[in-house]
Amino acid sequence: MVLSVLNPGAAMDKAREVAAAARATGRGALINAGIVGAPPRGNAKARTYVAGPDAHLFTQLTAYAFRRDTATAGRG
C-alpha cells in the first residue's frame, strides 16, 4: 500500500506515477482520497474523503491511524 500525503499541486503527478507502477506490476488498488479540515491540533478535526472502485479498502486503515467516521464517497 502506498499512502502519500501531498500538497494538491503535486497530487496528480504522484497519482500518475503510482498508477503506472500498479499497471506495470498488475497489482494494486487505486483509491483517491482528500484530507479536508484543520491540522490535527487541540480540538481541530479533519475528515478524509475517499472515492474510487476500491474505496472500501481504505477502511482497513482505521485500525491504525484513521477515525472510523471517515467519509466514503461513491464510485468514481
Task: Give the residues across from 46 on adjacent strands.
Answer: 37
Residue at 3 is within a domain: no
Residue at 45 is within a domain: yes
Using CA of residue 64, residue 65, residue 69, residue 73, what is the dihedral sign? negative
Map residue 50 onto helix, strand or coil.
Answer: strand
Residue at 56 is within a domain: yes
pLDDT number for residue 60: 80
pLDDT number for residue 66: 65
CA 28 to chain centre: 13
Map residue 51 onto helix, strand or coil.
Answer: strand
Residue at 33 is within a domain: yes
pLDDT, tens digit, 9 for 90 and up, residues 15-61: 888 888 888 998 877 788 888 888 777 888 778 888 888 888 887 87
Residue at 32 is within a domain: yes
pLDDT number for residue 72: 54
Query: Whole domain around residue 14: which residue ranges?
Result: 8-72
Residue showing cell 477502511: 59
Q: Indicate the pTM of the whole model.
A: 0.59
Residue at 2 is within a domain: no
Cβ atoms 24, 47 nearer than 8 A:
no
The number of folded domains in the chain is 1
